[in-house]
Structures are given as structure tokens and as C-alpha cells.
Amino acid sequence: MSTTAKERTDVERDRSARISERKRGWGEFLLDQRAFVALIVLVIVFSLLSDNFLDPSNLVTMTRHVAYNAILALGMLLVITTAGIDLSIGSTVGLSGVVAGLLLQGWELSLFDTTAYPAVWVVVVISLAIGAAVGALNGILITRFNVAPFIATLGTMYIARGAALLISDGATFPRLQGDPALGNTGFDFFGTGRPLGIPTAIWIMVVFAILIGLLMTRTRFGRWVYATGGNERAADLAGVPVRVVKMRVYMISGVCAAMAGLIIASELTSAAPQTGNTFELNAIAAVVIGGASLAGGRGTVKGALIGAFVIGFLSDGLVMVGVSSFWQMVIKGLVIVLAVMLDRGQERLKEARAAAAAAQSLRKDLAAATPPSTSHHER
């Protein structure tokens, strides 16, 4: 057999394999796009059950609710793609809100016997930096001290929540609109502003999604994130700075959480230390529904966004239809479990199909090949 002929048959085989993949039919396609299908189904069901579900104003409201969960999910996506987990983001939401509240209410500098009222942009930068710092703490624990991500971020979850309660003494910072006399107005922009008629929170979600999407798909860093989660040892041997990658994803996750905290505090124009409790679980659910693997290496921004929309629309839709909040929890739980079951099912389907194909080709080869030399067996 000449080499070129072999090449040609191989190329043809590759091509036909890809075509047959395309031909696998609608069932497979729907399974593949299951998060999107679930979202469509939710929209159809709720629009039938509730007259104003499809009202543009309702859709905007629901999307605004989705926005901060989506931002959290985007940070979580990066972490989960490296095969990590970040349980601290809910607490970081609370901490960043409280820090913003403290600064807007006036920061007493006893050393100078004065109270500082920083401008809103300074408040935002400091709050986001606090989020990055929590992420950095996670990163240090995980990369320098080899603490398992689950445990490290469980610890920082308590630490950040405790810090938020300490700063606020357990109380809520009210009236964060600021005072024109002090030059610190404008914080409510994140929660109530509507540039071009669309709430600021949605704009922020879109910007974060585009930035993280570009990061994941276009940059070297994005490749490193997938490589670290896909096979950490291989990435390390190939010169990928695995520790730096992990450090950064936790910091980005922390910044996303702090941003979500600012949005919530701004919407309420008040900051409570308990804000964000269990938000990390919603984010994990969104990422998993979006097709990411908790084992790492697999996950997309599109998927995480759709996952956040599924969870958000499901919650709001159930409220609109009047399902009791107890049943809401049960239904949400079932959706999450179903998503993971479908994911496993799809994986197993792929594996079974591949094994069957290999066995098939082996039988063909055995039938075609001349019988192997039996000289050794004659004994």
C-alpha cells in the first residue's frame, strides 16, 4: 500500500466519521444542546401558565435578577474548568457590599481624627480589590500549601463572612445613595441606572461575559485554564505555569463575586453582611447545567450563561405561577440532578458507541487478516 493511498483513506475515514457524527439525528442534537433546550422549554411552559411572563418588562426584570448570578457563574466557570471549586464567593458578595457600605457611610480615620468619604469609583475599586484579595487567599492556600480547593474555599467562606459581620457589627449599612455635599453620590447607578433603557446590571453581565469569553477562547491564558483542568501534570510538564493559572482564576472569581456584591448593595441602596448566603451553590449549579465538568477541562461561557438563565427563569417563573417556595426548592434540586444525569448519560453513550465501533472493526480485521502464525502454540 503506498503512503499516499493510505493517507487518502485515512482522510476519508476522518471525514466520514465527522459526517456520521452530524447525522446522528435530532435526539442527539437536543441532548447536546440540552441546557438551551431546557431554557426554551421553561420559557414556553411559563408563558403558557402566566400571561405576563413574556412581557418585555418582565423579561428585563428577570434578566436583571439573573445578572448577578450569571456574573458569579462566570467566575465559578473559570475555577471549575481548572478542576477546582470556589465556595467562598457567596461570602465575598456580602463582604464587598459591606466594605462599600462602610466607605460610603464614611470611614473614620481615628489616627487623623477625621472621617473620609471616598468617591464612588474609589469605593468600587477598593471593593473589587477586596474580592481579588479573598481570591488570592484561596489561591495561596491551594497552590502554596496544597490545601484541597473545597477545604480552602470552605475556610475562606467562613472567614469572609465573619469579616463582613465584624466590619458591620452584624448590622446593615442603610442609605447608600451618598450625599451631594460629600461628593460621593452615584452608587445606586449599578442597581437602578438604565443606560439605553437597559439596567446597568445587565450591561455589566454582558461585558463580563464578553471579556471572560474572549479570555477562555482566544488567549493563551484560556488555553492554560483548559489544559490545567484537562491534565494538570501534562500542562506542568509542557511549561504551563499551573500555579499562576490557579491563582488567577480564584482572583478573577473573587472579583466577579465582589462585582455581584456591589450590584446587590446598589439595588437595595443598603448593604447587609448576610447577603449572598448560599449564592455559591447557584453558581455551581449554573455552571454544571451549562455542561461543565466538575472534573475540569470542560466548560463554556455560553453554557454557564444559559445555566444561570435556566436557574433564574425557573425561580422567577415558579414564583409568578404561584408555586410554594418549598416546592420551588424541590423542583430546582430536581433540575440540577437531572442535568448532571443527562451529562453522565451522554458520556456513557459516547463511550459505549466507541467501544462497539472498535469491536466491530476488530471483527472485520480478524476476518480479513490471514490467520496469525501459530508456531508458538504447537507445543
Residues that bind other proteins in the complex, under the rule CB under 8 A = 3, 7, 10-11, 14, 218-224, 226-227, 229-231, 233-235, 237-240, 297-298, 350-351, 353-355, 357-359, 361-362, 365-366, 368-370, 372-373, 376-377, 379
Q: From residue 110, give the alpha-carbon distance in Å to each of 44, 107, 115, 189.
A: 58, 9, 8, 30
CB-nearer residue toward other proteins: 210 or 338: 210
CB 241 within 8 A of CB 249: no
Per DSSP bridges, beta strands 107-109 and 114-116 are antiparallel
Q: For residues 243 and 245, what is the distance between their CA atoms, to the nearest angstrom?
A: 5
CB 127 within 8 A of CB 99: yes
Q: For residues 164 and 274, what is the distance between their CA atoms, to the nearest angstrom?
A: 8
What count of residues does the chain have?
Answer: 379
List, as one string, the DSSP characters of 107-140. EEETTTTEEE---HHHHHHHHHHHHHHHHHHHHH
Using a 10 angstrom Cβ sphere, with 0-12 exposed, 13-18 middle and 19 or more buried, the burial of residue 111 is: exposed
Three-state secondary-structure class, residue 271: strand
Angle at CA 219, nearest 5°, toward 215 and 224? 90
Q: From residue 192, give the alpha-carbon distance in Å to each of 54, 185, 187, 195, 269.
A: 22, 13, 9, 10, 9
In angstroms, what is the minimal distance from the CB of 259 to other proteins? 22
**Of 255, 253, 263, 262, nearest to 283 (Cα)?**
253
Three-state secondary-structure class, residue 295: coil
Retrieve residue 192's grid coordinates: 437602578
Q: For residues 337 and 204, what is the distance between their CA atoms, to the nearest angstrom?
A: 30
Q: For residues 326 and 228, what is the distance between their CA atoms, to the nearest angstrom?
A: 40
List, as one string, the DSSP characters of 153-195. HHHHHHHHHHHHHHHHTT--B--TT--GGGT---TTHHHH--G
Q: For residues 146 and 149, what is the distance between their CA atoms, to the nearest angstrom?
A: 9
